[in-house]
């Protein structure tokens, strides 16, 4: 609950700071001079409502979505030695990380992967793929679990939701301003005695195009942050399970077949992601495994 309150408080603080900056820069005055009369504070609050609502909802239902969309089977009562070992290892690593025991599950995917999700670090979900259990040894799996437990302990799910919500807010905010400016320039003949009124097709078309373009640019920011989180989670996995185990786990992932992203919003939370080349690297949720291994080798201890 504390993390959710901090999540909301941080968003409010960001919105307040942005509002002050816009006033200091005179953005409202400039738009008025251009004939675009907008209440920027009201627009910013409305943009925040739109931008943050989707992120908050996704965060709240993330565990339910994982179970329903990815076929995660929760291990309530271990049915074999592998499941018993998996649950006990997660329990030990969670205790080391100072968090509550997560739910532990397995999902059907032939490629080795794992993820963690949930809005509360003391009631999270950690799941591994069938491919991971079939292709990795116990030490490597332990390191993967340490990586995912670190994501939970760092509150990465909440932080990612906050980052996504903030960029969504700016995308809608600036797309709306651009739409107003273009619509005003194309249809200034609609000015009446009471001033500019109504929206023409220029507004709706421009705002939609601007949202698409700005959304693509914003996703680069979100993916950069996601890649940075992976380095931190690797370091955390090394602390919990051992640096050489973490390196061995990444080496095992590198030897596996071409990696594939987890579906939808869970792509950023898997331990492995699709490889990007050229400009596509800017949209990768995970750094190249070679870079992650080199970062671990540079760790002290």
Catalytic residue IDs: 148
CA 7 to chain centre: 14
Q: Report whether 292 contacts 228 (CB < 8 A).
A: no
Sign, CA torsion 238/241/242/247? negative
Contacts of 201 (CB under 8 A, 6+ apart): none
Residue with tokens 């339910």: 64
Tokens matching residue 136: 């990795």
CA distance 75 to 35: 62
Q: How many C-alpha atoms does 144 have within 13 Å on its Cβ side?
A: 30
Cα separations (Å) of 215 from 22, 170, 207, 218, 222? 21, 9, 12, 5, 10
Cα separations (Å) of 301 from 2, 82, 92, 230? 33, 30, 22, 20
The separation between the first and the last C-alpha atoms of the chain, rounded to the nearest angstrom, is 35
Q: Report whether 253 contacts 275 (CB < 8 A).
A: no
CA distance 269 to 261: 10
């Amino acid at each position: 609950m504390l993390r959710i309150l901090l999540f909301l408080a941080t968003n409010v603080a960001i919105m307040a700071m942005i509002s002050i900056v816009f006033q200091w820069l005179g953005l409202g005055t400039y738009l008025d001079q251009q004939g675009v009369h907008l209440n920027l504070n009201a627009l910013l609050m409305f943009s925040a409502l739109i931008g943050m609502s989707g992120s908050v909802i996704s965060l709240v239902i993330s565990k339910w979505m994982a179970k329903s969309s990815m076929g995660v089977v929760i291990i309530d009562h271990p049915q074999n030695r592998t499941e018993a070992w998996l649950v006990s290892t997660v329990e030990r690593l969670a205790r080391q990380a100072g968090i509550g025991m997560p739910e532990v599950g397995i999902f059907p995917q032939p490629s080795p992967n794992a993820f963690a999700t949930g809005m509360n670090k003391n009631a999270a979900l950690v799941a591994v793929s069938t491919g991971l259990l079939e292709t990795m040894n116990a030490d490597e799996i332990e390191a993967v679990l340490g990586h995912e437990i670190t994501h939970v302990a760092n509150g990465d799910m909440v932080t990612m939701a906050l980052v996504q919500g903030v960029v969504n807010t700016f995308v809608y905010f600036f797309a709306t301003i651009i739409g107003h400016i273009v619509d005003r320039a194309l249809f200034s003949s609609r000015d009446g005695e009471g001033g500019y009124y109504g929206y023409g097709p220029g507004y709706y078309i421009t705002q939609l195009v601007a949202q698409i373009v700005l959304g693509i640019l914003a996703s680069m920011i979100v993916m950069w942050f996601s890649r940075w989180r992976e380095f931190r989670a690797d370091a955390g996995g090394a602390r919990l399970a051992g640096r050489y185990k973490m390196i061995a786990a990444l080496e095992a992932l590198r030897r596996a077949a071409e990696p594939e992203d987890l579906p939808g919003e869970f792509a950023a939370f898997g331990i492995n992601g699709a490889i990007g080349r050229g400009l596509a690297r800017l949209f990768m949720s995970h750094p190249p495994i070679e870079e992650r291994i080199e970062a671990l080798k540079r760790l002290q201890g």
